Amino acid sequence: MLVIATANRDKLREIEELLAGAGIDLAPLNRWPQYESPAETGATLEENAIIKAHGAARHTGLPAMADDTGLEVDALDGRPGIMAARFAGERATYGDNRRKLLGLLAGVPEAGRTAVFRTVAALCFPDGECHTVEGKCPGRITSAERGNGGFGYDPVFLVPALGLTFAEMDDATKNAVSHRGAALVRLRAVIADLARAGRL
């Protein structure tokens, strides 16, 4: 069994879809309602993913996975980066973060609105053994929100090759091209290796 260490319902749904058929039972973190997620004090996506995954593994006594995602916007010198979920403040909503981002990019021409979404996924065991993988998706920040699907920055993150924002894609298309999709394809390979070694 693998614990999915996130309290974000949108992220949980996406991870469950991406790991479906990986040959391992998945357990959402809400099965342990007393668990308090650790503070994300890392300086990198990798450090934060490990903090979350290892904390859940130690609490549950089971292997756990977590991811951390950052949005790096070139015109903002890489911001919001690891602060993507809290860009507009600790209690910011998805909409708050998007509005702040679009406000900071007001007047920036299309060619200067390039960005990269990055996800690092960590799979950790209670004994401290951890494995990490990374996925990236280059794109561009739109000047206005587009689409009704997805969550977070999806309505303003355009994948130029498809001409669509994440919020305009169906789930299967988004999962095939997204940063989280790329990371979890690699994580599935790690899971398979660990299963063959008898660790999962």
Listed by start position, the domains of the chain span: 2-196
Q: Give the rounded percent of residues in the chain with a pLDDT score beyond 90.
A: 92
Which position has the higher pLDDT, 165 or 21? 165
Query: Which helix H or strand E contains 69, and what residues bound it?
Result: strand 64-73
Helices (H) and strands (E) in the chain, counts: 5, 8
95 Cβ partners below 8 Å, 6+ apart?
none
The pLDDT score that the predictor gives to residue 23 is 86
- Catalytic site residue from 10, 67, 68, 193: 68
Bridging pattern class, strands 64-73 and 80-81 = antiparallel
The pLDDT score that the predictor gives to residue 110 is 93
The rounded mean pLDDT for the chain is: 95
pLDDT tens profile 75-103 = 999 999 999 999 999 899 999 999 999 99
Per-residue confidence band for 71, with pLDDT thresholds at 50, 70 and 90? very high
- Angstrom CA distances, 54 to 23, 28, 121, 192, stand at 21, 15, 12, 20
- Checking if the pLDDT of 22 tops 90, the result is no
Told to judge if 171 belongs to the known catalytic residues of this protein, a careful annotator would answer no
- Checking if the pLDDT of 45 tops 90, the result is yes
Minimal CA–CA distance to 184: which of 72, 19, 32, 55? 19
DSSP H helices in 61-86: none
The pLDDT score that the predictor gives to residue 83 is 95
Query: Interhelix angle for 9-19 vs 179-196, to 10°?
Result: 50
Q: Does domain 2-196 have CATH number 3.90.660.10?
A: no
The pLDDT score that the predictor gives to residue 151 is 94
- Checking if the pLDDT of 49 tops 90, the result is yes
Mean pLDDT of 153-173: 97
Mean pLDDT of 173-179: 96
The pLDDT score that the predictor gives to residue 21 is 84
